[in-house]
Amino acid sequence: MEIIPPYLRIYQQILKDLENALPFLNVPKAKAGRKPKLTDIHIAAIFILSYITNTKVLTLAQLLIDPSIQSWHIFRRYRLKRVYRILREYKLHKLRLMILARLLYGKKIELVIDGTIVDIANVNRARTQKIRRVRGKVWWAKRRRKIVRRDNGKVVEFEEVRYGMLMMVLCDREGRVYDVWITFGSVHEVRAFRERKKRSLWFRGLVENCVVYGDRGYRGCEGVIVCDSREMRAKRQVVEGVISQIKLFNAGSGWRTLTCVLVYVYAYAIGYSYYRRGELEV
């Protein structure tokens, strides 16, 4: 009996799921010609596995596919754009099936919205050097915070300055990510919500047809129910877990372009939503 390493077994199942869903995805077909070392589907599966195993994408590709694979085989911009499209369409395909099943059974869909600043660079480094990843004042984020002092119990308010991007997450009570996007760090969460609702037909449909909960910062935001009571605040605890995993994943990803960030984010959303609670055939 052949013994298959755990990483390879998980990779094979993710690849199988992607290939089975490929006929239903709105992605261009591969061009005829010489067979590449790894296809876009293989790269998409490796990105998802990277979140599950907390291992770098290039290391997994060399370990599971071909030791001679180099970074340019994966991280070329035109390849990342195709991989991003595959991951996005696959996530939407899975969500459409799940929403349809819930509607058939008459279940109400409850979603939670929240955002967080994901650091691009250290503040001191961003002040003294040019950051090659992204540049501009729009990435500087200022947020007012309140903390309780341990010595006297008084509430202290201060302004926190960070150099990063705002990542918004919309998920359900089980932690499945329905939508995720990034914008400038200087943008407020409510503004990011309204702009997304205006531009994205998918997001607008979710807000108008589902129950969406948010924290007190979303007061006055149409389509969001503010969680004021303790029972209501308990409903949005799941999104805090989703966001905490995003920060850990970002720290180890080593991305260099915004296109690469989007690929990592969608791979994370798929991995966290469908491959984290014993849903893999081990």
Q: What is the pLDDT of residue 95?
A: 94
Q: What is the pLDDT of residue 155?
A: 79
223 phi and psi angles, rounded to 5 deg: 95, 0
C-alpha span between 82 and 79 (Å, rounded): 5
Q: What is the pLDDT of residue 2?
A: 43
C-alpha span between 279 and 272 (Å, rounded): 11
C-alpha span between 146 and 282 (Å, rounded): 45
What is 161-196 written as a DSSP string?
A: EEEEEEEEEEEETT--EEEEEEEETTS-HHHHHHHH
Per-residue confidence in pLDDT tens, the chain, 282 aa:
344 577 888 899 999 999 999 888 877 776 656 677 788 999 999 999 988 888 889 999 998 888 899 998 899 999 999 999 999 999 999 999 999 998 888 888 999 999 999 888 888 888 887 777 787 888 988 887 777 777 777 877 878 888 889 999 999 988 899 999 999 999 999 999 999 999 999 999 999 999 999 988 888 888 899 888 777 777 778 888 888 877 777 666 777 788 898 999 999 999 988 886 445 544
C-alpha span between 255 and 131 (Å, rounded): 13
Q: What is the pLDDT of residue 16?
A: 92
pTM: 0.87
C-alpha span between 123 and 117 (Å, rounded): 13
Q: What is the pLDDT of residue 135?
A: 79
Q: What is the pLDDT of residue 252?
A: 65
Q: What is the pLDDT of residue 228?
A: 80
Burial class (CB in 10 A: 0-12, 13-18, 19+), 212: buried
